[in-house]
Chain A
Amino acid sequence: MKKHFLFLAFIIPSLLFAQVPKGFTLVKDTATFKLKMETQSKLVNSIESDFTQEKYLSVMSENIISKGHFCFKQINMLRWEYNDPYKYIIVINKDKMFIKDNGKVNKYDINSNKMFKSINEMMVNTVQGNLLNNKDYKANYYESDKQYLLELSPLQKGAKDFLKVIQLYIDKTDYAVVKVKMIEPGDDYTSIDFTGRKNNQPISDEKFTVK
C-alpha cells in the first residue's frame, strides 16, 4: 500500500506538470489575454508573410520542408502559395476557393462542401489568431517571457481522428501568430513558421484570383 502511495505521489504531479509545455507557464488571467488578442486582431486589415512548413513523420529521418508566401485581406480573402520545392496555390475569395496545381486551376464553392468550409475557417482564423472562442475546440493558455502559447484540442469526433492538438505561438509584443503546430494522434506533426510579417500594407484584389 505504501509503495502504491509513493508511486502515485510521484506520478500524479509529473502528469500534471507534463501538460504544461516546456518553457511555458499557465496564463492566470485568460480573460485579459483574450480581450487583447481580439482587440489587436480587429486592428489588422491585411497580413502578408513568408512561411516555412515542416512535416515531421516519425518513420522518416528527415522532415519534409516546403516554403511559400501568404497574403490575407479582410474580409475572408487568403492566398496561400507554396514556391519551394513545388508550386501550389490555394486562394480563398469570399465563398470561392481556387486551387492551382500543375498549371491547372480548379474552382470550388466553399459552401457546397463541408470539408472546404472547414479548411477555409481553419486557415483564415489561424492566420488571424481568431480561434479563441471556437466552440469546436477546448483551449489551454500558456505563456513564456516572449510568447503566448494557445493549445486547442478538437472536441468533435471527426476532427479528433486526424488532429490531437493545434498549438498557436503568439508574439507578446504585437499578438501576431508566429508559429502554428498541428499535432496528429500518433504525434506526427506539421509546423508552420511565419517570418517577415507585414500588417496593413495595401494588397491588390488581383492577388486573390488565379488564372
Chain B
Amino acid sequence: MRNLLLSSVCVLLLAACTPGHYGRLTSADKQAQPLQSIFGDNFTSFLFKTNITIYGKEVSGLLVTKQMQAHDYRVIFTTELGMKLFDFEFKDSAFSLHYCVPQFNRPALLNTIKQDIETLLMNSVGQEPYVTLTDKAQQYTIIRTHPQTIFTYYFTENASGNMVKIEHSKKHSKKVIYLLEDYQDHFPNSISINHCDIKLQIELKLLKR
C-alpha cells in the first residue's frame, strides 16, 4: 500500500515536469497574431508579494517591476521589512545587476531568476520567428519560438484570450512551467514559476498595479 502511494506520488511529480504533450500538438490552420506582452506595452509599475523556495529554503518579500522606457524594465526585490535583496535592469537584450545581497549573489541562482523574469517581461517577443500550434481539443492557441536550443511554448486559452501558461522545453522535456492564473482586468493576479530540473519555485501574487 505504502509502495503504491509512493509510486502514485512519483507518477504525479513526473507527469508535472516531463515530456509528453508536445507530440500531440499540431500545426494550426492559420498563423496566430504576434504575442502581446503580459504586462502590456505601457505599464508604470506592478507590486507583487513574492515567495521564492529554493531547495526547501524560503525567501519572501515584495517584487516591484517598473517600466522606465520602452523595452527598459527595472525589477527590485525587497524583504517585507524593506531590505533590498536584488535590483535588476532589463534594457532590450542587455541586463544590468544594480545591486544584490551576498546570499543571492551566486551566478547560477541569479542567472536562473534573471531568465525567469526575462521570460515574464517578454522583452524579445515579437522579434523572433514563431510557429502556431493547437491542441487536440482546440482549447489553446500555442505559439512556439526557438531562438536557441530551448523551445518556448506560449499557451493562450481560446475561450478567454488570456495567456495561461508558458513552458520552456529542451529535447521535448519540460524545463520550466509558468502558470498565469486568476485574470482580472486582462492581467494574471497569480503567477507561479516551477522549475523541473532544480528545486526552485517562485510565486507572485499581485498586490498593486
Contact = CB atoms under 8 A, between A and B. Distances in A.
A120 interface: no
Contact of B80 (A60, A62, A66, A106): A66
Contact of A101 (B51, B74, B84): B51
A86 B207 contact: yes
A64 B44 contact: no
Interface residues of B, number: 25
Contacts of A60: 45, 64, 66, 76
Nearest to A55: B82
Nearest to B47: A64
A90 B47 CA distance: 21
Interface in A52-96: 53, 55, 57, 59-62, 64, 66, 82, 85-86, 88, 90
Nearest to A115: B103
A90 B101 CA distance: 21
Contacts of B78: 55, 64
B42 to A, nearest CB: 14
Interface in B66-105: 66, 68, 74, 76, 78, 80-84, 99, 101-102
Given A162-B101, A186-B99, A59 B76 contact: yes
A119 B80 CA distance: 13
A190 B81 contact: yes
A50 interface: no
A102 B207 CA distance: 14
A77 B83 CA distance: 22
Contact of A53 (B58, B82, B102, B205): B82
Contacts of A82: 80
Interface string B17-29: 0000000000000
A18 B177 CA distance: 52
B180 interface: no
A182 B81 CA distance: 10
A96 to B, nearest CB: 17
A88 B84 CA distance: 17
Nearest to A186: B99
B64 A64 contact: yes
B208 interface: yes
B200 interface: no
B48 to A, nearest CB: 10
Contacts of A57: 64, 76, 84
Interface in A110-131: 119
B49 interface: yes
A59 B82 contact: no
B60 interface: yes
Nearest to A84: B207
A190 B101 CA distance: 16
A88 B80 contact: yes
Contacts of B204: none
B46 to A, nearest CB: 11
A9 B60 CA distance: 50
Given A82-B80, A88-B80, A102 B64 contact: no
Contacts of A190: 81-83
Interface in A24-43: none
12 contacts: A57-B76, A59-B68, A59-B74, A60-B64, A62-B45, A64-B62, A106-B58, A119-B81, A161-B101, A182-B82, A186-B99, A190-B82
Interface of B: 44-45, 47, 49, 51, 58, 60, 62, 64, 66, 68, 74, 76, 78, 80-84, 99, 101-102, 205, 207-208
Given A102-B60, A188-B84, 7 more contacts: A53-B82, A55-B62, A55-B82, A57-B84, A59-B74, A59-B76, A85-B208
